Structure 1
Amino acid sequence: MELRQIIYFIEVAKREHVTKAAENLHVAQSAISRQISLLEAELGTSLFIREGRNVRLTHIGKIFLEHAERVVIELDKAKEKVEEYLNPEAGIIHLGFSTGLSVSTFSMMFSQFRENHPNLHVHFHQGTTPYLIKQIERGDIDIAFVAPVTSDHPVVKGDIFFTEKMLVLLPENHYLCSEPVIRIGQLKEERFVTFRSGFFIRETIEKACHQSGFQPIIAFEGEDMDTIKGLVAAGVGIAILPELAFSYNLPKDVRTKEISDPSFVRSVGVITPKKRELAPSEKLLYQFLKSFYDRLYRFQM
């Protein structure tokens, strides 16, 4: 089995037409037909059903396509990794970024990183922490910036850079604005503007409310931090957000208050694979992240 046979097969499967595949690959139609015939002979089964000038995959052809595409992806990754090892300053970093993460310090960090490594390109993959762990498990990414940082996981290891408190965000005319510190039990009758299920902040809120003997009233659930802040300013409800989220785009008609419950603290850092080594370009980013946040929080202290 040759790589070109797999490439020809994938192109024909995508276009369902041998002539169109040949045109796109800039090879003779007869060459594609011959290589696919050799591939089918080696596998001992037909991969396509011929319907005039068109073709469509057989059942086993669909299964083979799924695995063939993985082969090509892995070969492309292998080539990319070799290029990175030869020149780590000119590679591509696939970086995960968890939804609901405060972006203020991250934007500052990333700007400095780009100044130091202008030829490195970063492709971002955003999602929940469980989603990013699956991406690492599949090999699509090797490093992800997350909050909270996962620990005791069979696939990834976590490095905590700092912790941040979560605060209550209230409309400026809310009666609880006069309180020095807020207890979760005081929020029993409040309407929450928060993240959808599956997010750490949402799970923390629900767990704390249940421990205080009530079910939180959810007025809005989404994924965008600025939308949540805006809805609180509009009087839709109250929110609980990480402290760093209040350092940017904070509406003027809101107030923040600390929470007495110690569970409203989360860790921020990165997760990386346990069973494979980071590429040189990814190591550059990893070391830069550790150094940046170490300097930042030593300065703040």
Structure 2
Amino acid sequence: MNLNQLYYFKKLAELEHYTQASKELFITQPSLSGAISSLEEELGITLFQRHGRNIKLSKYGKEFYQYVCLSLIELEKGIEKAKERSDSYGGVIDLGCIPTLAGDFLPKSINGFLKSIDSKTQFNVFHGMTLELIKGIESEKYDVGFCSYVENKPKLDFHPIMAQELILLVNNNHPLAEKSSICLKELSGYKLITYRQCLPIGKTIRKYLKANQLKALYAYDDEISIGGIVSTTDNAAITARTPFLHQFHDLKMITLDIPLNARLIYLVMNNNSYHTLHVKSFINYILQNECRLPE
């Protein structure tokens, strides 16, 4: 038994898919299969059982998985402590974030951390929608994420860090373009669009629309798509005020009577994961220095 076998087993147990696990481990599928077979032979037990095209942990595999996780966490703590005591300490942080933060908030936050806390840390930044990012945080693909709140995730910690204002978006030829602010109830009779209902921000906006007896076509994933539709049609849109909208020069952003804290962005982390010192330092830096919540 060697350390690689334990890491391979842990990854396969979490993904329950040989092809996907081998890709994330950067090894061939036959190499992974051989390592698991050798491990099972040495232990004298079957760790996985076939479940259609996928696999599932056996009864003994589930028990072994708990011990492997605890052992690897302690080992990683020891390695981290050794690095911390040496002069070569640095590290890599894998971040997942929604695209709307990639142009302003995240670069400023990372640069601030590098300048004031740890200039040796390297950041890998991955973009995705909230539900995709949540899966990545749960599977430990990302050390930390920045996205919307998702219910029924007891293993995750959500810390609100900023709000994105929800506005009405129209083009310059729209009948409402002369207004600087408007109430939701005044939008009755106008064609409205917004985000897909499956997205957290879509659910939030739907709540306010329903309270004002309004309906909208929920068909879009992001502000670029929404801005493009609004700029070329007579539709109005309820959307978040983000840097993506600045590329459109023929749009008018109108203030709505929706609370500023209706759309919150969260720092999200897996409270069951082991976080290295540089990950903890980055989390603490964000929570102490980069929170931008409305008063």
Query: What TM-score do the two structures reach when normalised by structure 2?
Result: 0.67
Per-residue deviation, 1:231: 2.8
Query: What TM-score do the two structures reach when normalised by structure 1?
Result: 0.66
Per-residue deviation, 1:213: 1.9
1:171–1:77 CA distance, 2 compared to 1 (3 A)? farther
The residue number in structure 2 matching 1:136 is 137
Per-residue deviation, 1:74: 9.3
**In terms of Rg, which structure is larger?**
1
The residue number in structure 2 matching 1:270 is 267
The 5 Å alignment of 1:222-261 reads 222=221, 224-235=222-233, 237-243=235-241, 245-246=242-243, 249-261=246-258
Per-residue deviation, 1:257: 0.7
| Letter of the 2:106 counterpart | F
| Letter of the 1:213 counterpart | Q
Alignment of 1:161 onto 2:161: yes
The 5 Å alignment of 1:38-117 reads 39-40=40-41, 43=44, 62-63=55-56, 82-87=78-83, 89-98=89-98, 101=101, 103-116=103-116, 117=118
The residue number in structure 1 matching 2:206 is 206
Deviation string for 1:229-253 (max 9, x for gaps)? 233222363222333x148633111
1:3–1:183 CA distance, 2 compared to 1 (3 A)? same
The residue number in structure 1 matching 2:25 is none
1:247–1:69 CA distance, 2 compared to 1 (3 A)? same
Structure 1, unmatched stretches of 5+, are 16-20, 26-31, 48-56
Q: How many residues align?
A: 271
The residue number in structure 2 matching 1:53 is none
Asked whether the equivalents of residues 189 and 217 of structure 1 are also in contact (C-alpha less than 8 Å), the reply is no
The residue number in structure 1 matching 2:282 is 285
Structure 2, unmatched stretches of 5+, are 13-17, 23-27
CA distance in 2, matches of 1:60, 1:40: 23
Asked whether the equivalents of residues 162 and 269 of structure 1 are also in contact (C-alpha less than 8 Å), the reply is yes
1:76–1:115 CA distance, 2 compared to 1 (3 A)? farther
Deviation string for 1:82-125 (max 9, x for gaps)? 54443364212122313555742222222333445343222334
The residue number in structure 2 matching 1:194 is 194
Asked whether the equivalents of residues 150 and 157 of structure 1 are also in contact (C-alpha less than 8 Å), the reply is no
CA distance in 2, matches of 1:184, 1:144: 32
CA distance in 1, matches of 2:264, 2:165: 9
In percent, how many aligned pairs have the same letter?
19
Asked whether the equivalents of residues 156 and 271 of structure 2 are also in contact (C-alpha less than 8 Å), the reply is yes
Deviation string for 1:153-189 (max 9, x for gaps)? 5222332223332111110111112234222233344
The residue number in structure 2 matching 1:221 is 220
The 5 Å alignment of 1:115-130 reads 115-116=115-116, 117-130=118-131
SS at match of 2:164: strand
Asked whether the equivalents of residues 181 and 254 of structure 2 are also in contact (C-alpha less than 8 Å), the reply is yes
Deviation string for 1:53-94 (max 9, x for gaps)? xxxx99899546998999999988876665444336421212
Please report the RMSD computed on the Cα atoms of aligned residues, expressed in angstroms. 4.7
1:142–1:269 CA distance, 2 compared to 1 (3 A)? same
